[in-house]
Structure 1
Amino acid sequence: MTTHVYLKYAIALLMEEYGLQTEQNITFKEIREELTKGLNAFSVKPIGDYYGQAEVKYEFTKEKNDAKKYIFLSPNTIASEMKASNLYNAICKTCSEENIDLLKAYKISQSEVPTSGEFNTFSDNGNIGRGKPSATVLDECLALITSTTALKPCLQYKTGVVKGTTDNTCLIPDLDISDLQNFIKLFKRVRIQKLDSSLMIGKVRCENGKTLKYTPKRPNIFNGNFPNAPHSSALGSIALLGAIGEMTKEKDVSKLAMKVLESLIDCNFYAIKYGDASVFSFSHFIIRLAERGKLRRIVDSLYYVELYKEGRRSKSNAFEYQKFDLFASRFLQIFNRPTFKDFLAFRAEYPYNIELLLNTYFCDMEKIDKEIVTSAKELGKWLNYVAYRSAQKEVGTSSSWDDLIKAKAKVLVELESSVFSAKSGDALIAYTITRAGRLSGFDAPTEASLFMEKAASGELPLEQAKNLIIAFSRLKSKKEEADKASSNDNQSIENENEEMTEDYSNI
């Protein structure tokens, strides 16, 4: 009989934490001890006085969540704010027992297993009613452990913007017990070695009315309880993979990290929240990037992609960026041509660190010769530089950085339109090079000759040639990034993040 992944995670956790050899060695003693640990991390609350402060430190607590008192349900507690008390009471009741018959039949509820629910039941006399699914007391206890343990990857997933909802969500791989134990062992190490106290820091909002009101916001751990958690929850799963990949750089656990990453190839992951679960998996190309310790940098960079029509991320354009994040995450997970086309459909400029992602896609997925990809990259860099210099001439030196970026985006859109309209490879090169040459007065770089030759001759398929030009022309140069950093009116990254990590949940 196949064990549900939610229960299997608790089995692996108990075996790993208490050195048990088989599932049959699990007793109520270990179960109660683990449930107590989960109860002690049920909620988080501020430490000390936050009046007049910009930030406040949080700590885990076994108190019931009460958002009005700023006692927030921990992200590792998989329940809804309204129904969390049912989970809390079930754990307290179980922990108060001296001993329990673990094999006794039990009707399990959604508060205990978030993906459970009431279903139609049929009796012999033809009556139809509602009933809870049957299980055992052991199943209930295992579910309670997984629902509360802090030793699982989790985050608060935001659905919608401003008026949207937030759901505590855990990310669990469907692995064999032994592989799950390795996953848990590595995740414990990730938390111990890589997490710092900043995850338990929350901002304090100051509202200036008749009297000053200071309101503590949820701490950073709600973005994810693993290192380098993303500002956008849509990228949470791929950021987790990046965090695991970073452990390959640690000498004493690099073999374990590689073993875990290998086990995740062709493995289903479950994103489980109260009342729902979704399944996803990672492309082996992306897992290879994680194994090389390169994925985290890519994920971090995706947050700083700028959509042409929207400018920088803010509350006003949060919905458009949320859509981009969802499609970017889907591309990174599935990593095939349809998801790349969806990703490319968002007209945007990319930080230069995205170059590695594009190289991997075109060389490994599209199987384009590396020398052609490198040549196309040089042409793309030149086109981006042409757009940058043209924008500088248009707006002048006294204009703001945002005005410069808007002017540059117009040029890039114009160049992309030339690419899209080309009906053949030679027309593609002629239209694009001619237009860029007129704007800059410069010739295309000689390093781009190979790409132009293959595209013009038709040896490189037209669609691939277009995608190469468009993708690489969107990469910002390191020089531009440096200019932006030194710009006097450049909005700080901290302020940008403040806009997007706003707590939209009801208090």
Structure 2
Amino acid sequence: MKNYSFLPRYGLAYACHHFKKTNPGELTAKDLSEVLNLELSYFRLATNNDPQIESELKFEYKNVAKGNAAKGLYLSSHVLSTDKSSEQTHKSITKIISELKNGSLDQRINLDKSFSVTTSKINNGKRSQTTPTGELEEAALSAIGAITMRKPARYDAVSNNYSSIIPDLELNDLILFIKVFENMQSSGLMDSAKTAKVNEKKRGFKRPQISYGNFPFAPLDSTFAAIGLLAALGQWAKNSETFSEEAIQVCELLGKARIYIVSYSGVHQTQFSHAAVSLSKSGALYNFLQSLYRAGWQGLQNKHENDRKLFFLFTARFLQFFTPHYFKDFLSIRMEYENEITNLFKEYFTMNGIKESHVQSVSTLGRWINRAAYFYALENSDNKQDYDKINTLKAKTLAEIESTVLAAKSATALISQVITRIGRLSYQDAPAEAELFINAVMTGEIPLQNSKELIMAYSRIKNTSKTETEINNNPYPTEGVENEDN
């Protein structure tokens, strides 16, 4: 087997999967032509509904070269191209199909960027750059990789960018990945995935939900693309009746592989930590991601969009790599978290040498601090029903407490100042369960920096939460997704 790079290798794996061939050498020009024709039938998404008179737009896939967003004809998110270049992509692939009918697989052909996004023009000592060439087989496989719907993909409305996730796996492992992903798509996507609700105040065409994640449990923001896929696989393993073991196996494979986020504009490489894979396999990673996504929208709703994007970026990095450096970045943006995040912090701190008993103890201290800040805000609000003002005052109080925590130069100062301040706010002593943590800090068993991070992390956790059932029963969440095309 030829040693192809990740994009044509993905195309090769999909072709083998489609024809159920274990030997890639058995694939013929006719086979590759058939796959390309099939995938072109998913090139665009179109609707016959009129947003001026209807409340819902229903989309279907179409094999159409030229798009028209003004009339609800969109490029599918899994096509590695751009709105401007997609017509050329379709034209180039149609030409490859024609060559497959007339030529041999080893004939030379230009590896044009329109279907082979990882290639670029080269300069062979000449004034003008030239397009690199390769065998027809490589061109066909690259084209399959570029347009197959059987790869994780999404459209980002902010950057107007179409991107896909391709793991750098050996062929047989890649075939397994595609098999599981295809099962996720065919069994897990609801009918609503190819629909869009019309905004009654601003009627016009909108992309369907599948454009913003073409698999169940897809992340709600493009920043979470890679870690969101891992989380979705874990959630699918938890829910699937037939592919649970295979989905777990794929999670393990992704933990050992380079992960490429590919778009027409370039390739970004990332990876997953062992901890992220472990959280995914247990089904917990998806809950954490959803919880932190909601926290970002709720906690930063009055902030600039860049603040939210930064929080999402720090969250994604922390969940992927699970290191002290990225946790520090994550904590740098102040906000409250939902209760589901408790177990994430427990996993992180115990993995970094903090005893579970100390984590349990500080969680009690954190709840006491958070509750005290709330009741202080409530008591000092003129209107007890004005929740925005109450939450604003609570956030200000928590920020002042964190400033006290960060300013502490010693363990003694940390504990005495925090306990004294919260005691004055709540007119209560610290809970007895917090004593174990307090003693560990005072004796130096827990280092000062870790102590500060523990207090800040757990004091940010709200005392209310959505139930796990509410979170888990929605395989295609739409909360907060911005899908206006304007």
Q: TM-score, normalised by structure 1?
A: 0.89
- Measured against aligned partners, the alpha-carbon deviations of 1:85-120 in whole angstroms (never above 9, x if no partner) come to 111011222334534311111221110111222121
User: Quick one: distance in 2 between partners of 1:62 and 1:502?
Assistant: 23
Where 1:121 maps in the other structure, the secondary structure is coil
Matches within 5 A, 1:104-183: 104-122=107-125, 127-158=126-157, 164-183=158-177
Whether 1:84 and 2:65 are equivalent positions in the alignment is no
User: Quick one: distance in 2 between partners of 1:15 and 1:344?
Assistant: 45
Q: CA deviation at 1:339?
A: 0.7
Quote the residue 1:501 is aligned against. Answer: 482
Whether 1:353 and 2:353 are equivalent positions in the alignment is no
Quote the residue 1:189 is aligned against. Answer: 183
- Measured against aligned partners, the alpha-carbon deviations of 1:255-291 in whole angstroms (never above 9, x if no partner) come to 2112111111221100000030000001110100111
From 219, 224, 227, the counterpart of 1:235: 224
User: Quick one: distance in 2 between partners of 1:44 and 1:231?
Assistant: 20
User: Quick one: distance in 1 between partners of 2:3 and 2:354?
Assistant: 42
Whether 1:218 and 2:212 are equivalent positions in the alignment is no
User: Quick one: distance in 2 between partners of 1:166 and 1:82?
Assistant: 11
Q: State whether residues 378 and 384 of structure 2, in contact with CA within 8 Å, keep that contact through their aligned partners in structure 1.
A: no
From 198, 206, 219, the counterpart of 1:204: 198
Matches within 5 A, 1:42-81: 42-63=43-64, 64-81=66-83
Name the amino acid aligned to 1:242: A
User: Quick one: distance in 1 between partners of 2:245 and 2:367?
Assistant: 38
Q: CA deviation at 1:68?
A: 2.3
Quote the residue 1:491 is aligned against. Answer: none
User: Quick one: distance in 1 between partners of 2:220 and 2:242?
Assistant: 30
Q: State whether residues 203 and 216 of structure 1, in contact with CA within 8 Å, keep that contact through their aligned partners in structure 2.
A: no
Name the amino acid aligned to 2:91: N
Q: CA deviation at 1:463?
A: 0.3
* Unaligned runs of at least 5 residues, structure 1: 159-163, 209-213, 486-495
Quote the residue 2:251 is aligned against. Answer: 261
User: Quick one: distance in 2 between partners of 1:358 and 1:223?
Assistant: 29
Where 1:129 maps in the other structure, the secondary structure is coil
Name the amino acid aligned to 2:372: V
Where 1:277 maps in the other structure, the secondary structure is strand
Quote the residue 1:326 is aligned against. Answer: 313
Name the amino acid aligned to 1:9: Y
Quote the residue 2:95 is aligned against. Answer: 93
Name the amino acid aligned to 1:223: Y
* Unaligned runs of at least 5 residues, structure 2: 471-477
- Measured against aligned partners, the alpha-carbon deviations of 1:282-312 in whole angstroms (never above 9, x if no partner) come to 11101001111111111111111158xx945
Quote the residue 2:260 is aligned against. Answer: 270
Quote the residue 2:30 is aligned against. Answer: 29
RMSD, aligned α-carbons = 2.0
Q: CA deviation at 1:207?
A: 5.0
**Deviation larger for 342-351 or 399-408:** 399-408
Indicate how the Cα distance of structure 1 residues 106 and 92 shifts in structure 2: closer, same or farther if over 3 A, else same: closer
- Measured against aligned partners, the alpha-carbon deviations of 1:203-260 in whole angstroms (never above 9, x if no partner) come to 323457xxxxx30211111221111222211112211111111232234222211211
Quote the residue 1:15 is aligned against. Answer: 16
Whether 1:378 and 2:364 are equivalent positions in the alignment is yes
User: Quick one: distance in 2 between partners of 1:470 and 1:53?
Assistant: 49
More strand by share: 1
Where 1:51 maps in the other structure, the secondary structure is coil
Quote the residue 2:475 is aligned against. Answer: none
User: Quick one: distance in 2 between partners of 1:422 and 1:262?
Assistant: 42
Q: CA deviation at 1:143?
A: 1.1
User: Quick one: distance in 1 between partners of 2:133 and 2:361?
Assistant: 62
- The number of aligned residues is 473
Q: CA deviation at 1:390?
A: 1.0
User: Quick one: distance in 2 between partners of 1:176 and 1:230?
Assistant: 26
Indicate how the Cα distance of structure 1 residues 169 and 265 shifts in structure 2: closer, same or farther if over 3 A, else same: same
Q: Which runs of at least 4 in structure 1 moved beyond 6 Å after TM superposition?
A: none
User: Quick one: distance in 2 between partners of 1:69 and 1:216?
Assistant: 7
Whether 1:296 and 2:286 are equivalent positions in the alignment is yes
Whether 1:286 and 2:296 are equivalent positions in the alignment is no
Name the amino acid aligned to 1:202: A
User: Quick one: distance in 2 between partners of 1:222 and 1:431?
Assistant: 51
User: Quick one: distance in 1 between partners of 2:433 and 2:54?
Assistant: 55
Name the amino acid aligned to 1:5: F
Q: State whether residues 299 and 336 of structure 2, in contact with CA within 8 Å, keep that contact through their aligned partners in structure 1.
A: no
Where 2:283 maps in the other structure, the secondary structure is coil
User: Quick one: distance in 1 between partners of 2:345 and 2:142?
Assistant: 41
Quote the residue 1:473 is aligned against. Answer: 459
Q: CA deviation at 1:67?
A: 1.4
User: Quick one: distance in 2 between partners of 1:3 and 1:335?
Assistant: 32
Quote the residue 2:405 is aligned against. Answer: 419
Q: State whether residues 76 and 170 of structure 1, in contact with CA within 8 Å, keep that contact through their aligned partners in structure 2.
A: yes
Identity of aligned residues (%): 32
User: Quick one: distance in 2 between partners of 1:47 and 1:313?
Assistant: 35
